[in-house]
Structures are given as C-alpha cells and as structure tokens.
Amino acid sequence: MLRLLRLATILVVVFRFGLDEFALGHERVRWLRPVLRAALFWRRLDRPRGERLRRALEDLGPIFVKFGQLLSTRRDLIPLDIADELARLQDRVPPFPAEQALAVIERTYGKPVDQVFAQFEREAVASASVAQVHFATLPDGREVAVKILRPGIERVIGRDMELLEVAASLMEMVWKDGKRLRPKEVIAEFRNHLRDELDLMREAANGSQLRRNFRNSTLLVVPEIYWDWCAQEVMVMERMVGTPISRVSALREQGIDIPKLSRMGVEIFFTQVFRDGFFHADMHPGNVFVRADGRYIALDFGIMGTLTDVDKNYLAQNFLAFFRRDYRRVAQAHLDAGWVPPETRVDEFESAIRAVCEPIFDKPLKEISFGRVLLRLFQTARRFNLEVQPQLVLLQKTLLNIEGLGRDLDPDLDLWKTAKPFLERWMAEQVGWRGLMRNIREEAPQWGIMLPQLPRLVHRTLQNPRPNKLEQALERLARDQRQQSQLLVVIIAALASLIVLVVMLAGRH
C-alpha cells in the first residue's frame, strides 16, 4: 500500500511539472499525447524542461536528488541542457527535529544525551539526505562533531530504489542505447554506495584510515575519530574549525595563498590515488574546509575508493600518456584491456581521442568547458562501442559538481604542468632502482617461507597433473587484468573533469 501511495505521489509531481513530455516523446506512446493534453488543459508550463525536472526531483526527496546528481554525469544518456540543470542539484534537506536526534542517541547509548555528552547543541549545524551533524562536548572537555543517521532513511531508500529499478528496466526497453548504457547496473551501483552511507561505523573506519595516511601532513588535516562513542547510527569525531573552500573571498581576506592552495590540491589528490590507493569518491565543496594555517580539512568519509598496485601503475602510465599527448599509447591500452572490440582500428581510435582532448591542452581552467568535453567523450565512446562503467558514475558526478568551484579557486592554474611532475616522480620511484629495492624488502619475508616449500609443491604438481589448470589460470589472469583496469575509463570518459578534481580535492578517499 505504501509503495502504491509513493508511486501516486511521484505521478502527481510528474504531471505537475510537465515531465510527461519526456515519456510522450517516444513513438510507442505517441497516441497518448492528445489524451493527456486534454486532461491537463489547466496546466501552464512556462519554464525550461531542465529546470522543471530539477525542481521535481527536489520535491520528490533526497534519494531522487542524489540520483539526479548521478544522472547529470550521463551526458551520453540525456541532453546537455538537462545535464547542466541537474548538475545544480544540491544535497541539502531540512534537518530532522532535535527530539528525533536525541531519541537516536538514547537508543544507541542506552542513556539520555546529558549522560553521554557534557553539552549537546540541539540545533544541527549541517543536514543532508542521509544524516545531520550536531556540535557537542565530551565529558573530558573535548569538542566534537556528532553525525546522526536520519531516522527511517533506510526504509525510504529501499522504497525509492525499487521504483528507480523499475524505471531502469523501462529505460532499457524503450531507449535505443539502453542496454549499452546499462541503467540497471548504474542503479545497482547507486544502491551499493547508499548502503555504505547508512553504516556510520564504516564511515568512521574510512576517516580513521585517511587520518593515518596523512598523519603529520603539511597539506591535509583529518579529524580524529572517537571510537568509544561511535556506532552504526552515530559517529563522533574531532570538531574542526575552518572556512568552506567555496568562500574564496573569505580565504583571500585571511591571507590564504589561493594559487598555492590549488597546487596543494593537486598533490593531495595524486598522493591519495597513487601513494595510498585510497581516495574520496564523493567529493563536493561542502566536504572541503581550509584551516587558518592554509591546510585543507577533510570531512565526510561515507564513500571512498580503493586501487590495487596494478590499478595505480596502469592509471599513472595512461595519465602520463595524456599529458605527453601520446594518444596512440592510450588507444592501444584500451584495445589490449578489451575495453573496445578487437576489430577496432587503433589509428581511428587514436584520432578520435586526439580530436576531443587536444583542444583543451595549453588552456587555463577558465577557458575549458568540461561539460562539453564530457559530451564529446561520451559520443566517442558510443562510436567505438566503449561500454560505460557504472562504478565511475559517482566519481563523474563529483567532478562536475566542483567544476565551477575549481574555476573560482584558481582559473589560471596550468593543470598539466602541475600534475605531470608528480606523476613522473611517482613512476620513477615505481620502476626505478628505488622501487626494485622496496619490492625486495616487502617480498623477502614471503620468499623465506615459500622457497623451502617449492620442491614439495613441484613434486605434488607432477604427481597429480591436471591438464586444464593452465587454461583456467590463464583465463583467471585475463579476467583479473580486465577488472584491474576498470578505472582506466576515467581517462577516456572523464579526463578533463578528473583534472578539475586534481585542482581542489582535499583529502577525499
């Protein structure tokens, strides 16, 4: 019954904002147009369709807002005017009542809030679709930020996700490119990330790992997690004081060197990706603050990404290929990884990549429209039957969200010259003698265990030959290689936008 009521609510919003025109544009339902026009004769639609869609999603609630943000990255799936409008969606919702927050705390700790904290501010300082934050003081006097999960949010997410899954199935049925764009897999990936956000213990662990990675850093500060006060619905961390990075004028008034801040963002991002293989995957301006001493402050660790050593090496080599404008090397790497059909001509793929990326080199950030670059990249992907990877959609959402802020931060930043030396230095450390010595040190203990067992293992293999094992191993190796290179599509499908993230990413894993 509740599901039917929710569906009815969605239909009312759809008709109120005139979203039926999106469905009625398909030939299969053309016959419905005169019927609906007659029934909705009273309706006046005087705003652009993209704005109407954005306002409808905001009315439908937080999950639809998040999905609209995600959809804004699929410029191969939706028109550019709609994608630009959806990119304006903000994950800001009114806070839930303080009484509900206190009830969650009492249920979590088994005692009233006044027996848990020396002081607890009833008014939330930040509120989003999944949780909100209150300031408090621990019994020992430490000032903390308390993140509390929104009551009933899991039920709301489950209900709306079921409706989105139905919509994805319909999309595959009526859209020409539906199966190639894999909307059902996109929805599944979206559900997985939302599920992670619903466990604040997982977020606390992510924050703790990030803090450990940047301990004593001159670039980034990460709040300490207070584990004794953390649970699935409540997370308590050190209270951080800083200025939101979106307030560029205030940062200048404080004497912050903005160009230096931009360069620091480049180093933070590449350090996370290539040194740690652990990076923030839900980056937006609300998660980035700047301390008075000029260091970044990282907040919100709900969605993080990880990379294997093979991933890092593969990404670094392809980044360098782009920075050096070696498009043939990039095209060949995609062919070798199986991202494009084996009959694809490398020279044609190389030429297509060059046509998209060459115009943006040697330009400052303010002269690059990453939305349009993404559109052309998606068109290239469609031409060469390059499958869109659902696991990258949230990253692309983040890249587009911070595009405007990146321009405000330092529009004259030379992205290529800033990033290239870091990657070249990292690659030299990986493939040079330093990398060799480090690998030997790391692997030597394992050699001491494995070498004495080697004769026995060889003898056992010869005594029990299994002809199919080699083929199976080769198949597994090929499959693993394909999986390990999944993030490479970022280079093709979102290179330009990824560089924006480089400008200002502040400790996001």
pLDDT confidence bin for 149, thresholds 50/70/90? very high
- Give residue 507's pLDDT: 42
Q: Is the pLDDT of residue 5 over 90?
A: no
Query: CA–CA distance from 163 to each of 11, 76, 189, 291, 464 (Å)?
Result: 12, 23, 15, 43, 53
- Give residue 494's pLDDT: 39
Q: Residue 290: what are its φ and ψ, rounded to 5°?
A: -130, 130
Distance CA 269, CA 255 (A): 23
Distance CA 187, CA 316 (A): 29
Distance CA 10, CA 296 (A): 41
Pairing of strands 234-238, 243-244: unpaired
Render pLDDT for 449-465 as a digit per residue (tens, 0 to 9): 767 777 777 767 666 65
SS3 134: strand
91 assigned to active site:
no
pLDDT confidence bin for 270, thresholds 50/70/90? confident
Q: Which residue has the higher pLDDT, 411 or 130?
A: 130
Q: Is the pLDDT of residue 506 over 50?
A: no
Place of tokens 């293989």: 277
Q: Is the pLDDT of residue 42 over 70?
A: no
- Give residue 505's pLDDT: 41
pLDDT confidence bin for 123, thresholds 50/70/90? very high
- Residue 309, classified by CB atoms within 10 Å of its CB into exposed (0-12), middle (13-18) or buried (19+), is exposed
Torsion of CA 185, 191, 194, 198, to 10 degrees: -150
Mean pLDDT calculated for residue range 70-83: 69
What does the domain layout of the chain look like in residue ranges?
1-89, 94-127+130-239, 432-484
Q: Is the pLDDT of residue 278 over 70?
A: yes
DSSP 286: G
Render pLDDT for 336-352 as a digit per residue (tens, 0 to 9): 766 677 888 889 988 98
pTM above 0.95, yes or no: no
Mean pLDDT calculated for residue range 92-119: 93
- Give residue 500's pLDDT: 39
- Residue 436, classified by CB atoms within 10 Å of its CB into exposed (0-12), middle (13-18) or buried (19+), is exposed
Amino acid at 92: R
Q: Is the pLDDT of residue 11 over 90?
A: no
From the list 282, 311, 408, 410, the catalytic residue is 282
Q: Is the pLDDT of residue 509 over 50?
A: no
- Give residue 495's pLDDT: 41
Q: Which residue has the higher pLDDT, 162 or 326?
A: 326
Share of the chain above pLDDT 70, in %: 64
Q: Which residue has the higher pLDDT, 483 or 425?
A: 425
Structural contact between residues 432 and 322, judged by C-beta atoms closer than 8 angstroms: no
Structural contact between residues 290 and 297, judged by C-beta atoms closer than 8 angstroms: yes
Render pLDDT for 468-483 as a digit per residue (tens, 0 to 9): 554 555 455 555 555 4
SS3 298: strand
Render pLDDT for 293-321 as a digit per residue (tens, 0 to 9): 999 999 989 878 777 776 676 666 667 77
Distance CA 394, CA 415 (A): 22
Distance of CA 440 to the CA centre of its chain: 34
Distance CA 220, CA 213 (A): 10
Q: What is the mean pLDDT of the chain?
A: 75
Q: Which residue has the higher pLDDT, 157 or 375?
A: 157
276-280, 286-290, 400-404: segment of lowest average pLDDT: 400-404
Distance CA 271, CA 236 (A): 27
Mean pLDDT calculated for residue range 490-508: 40
Q: Which residue has the higher pLDDT, 56 or 458?
A: 56
Burial per residue of 277-292, b for 16 or more beta-carbon CB atoms within 10 angstroms, e otherwise: bbbbbbbbbbbbbbbe
Distance CA 475, CA 261 (A): 46
Task: Please tell me which of 2-6, 198-202, 311-315 the model is most confident about, judged by mean pLDDT.
Answer: 198-202
- Give residue 503's pLDDT: 39
DSSP 95: P
Mean pLDDT calculated for residue range 282-293: 82
Q: Is the pLDDT of residue 232 over 90?
A: yes
Share of the chain above pLDDT 90, in %: 23
- List 362's β-bridge partners, or say none: none
Q: Which residue has the higher pLDDT, 109 or 320?
A: 109
Kindly state the tokens that stand for 194: 């939302």
Distance CA 172, CA 177 (A): 8
Pairing of strands 220-221, 131-137: unpaired
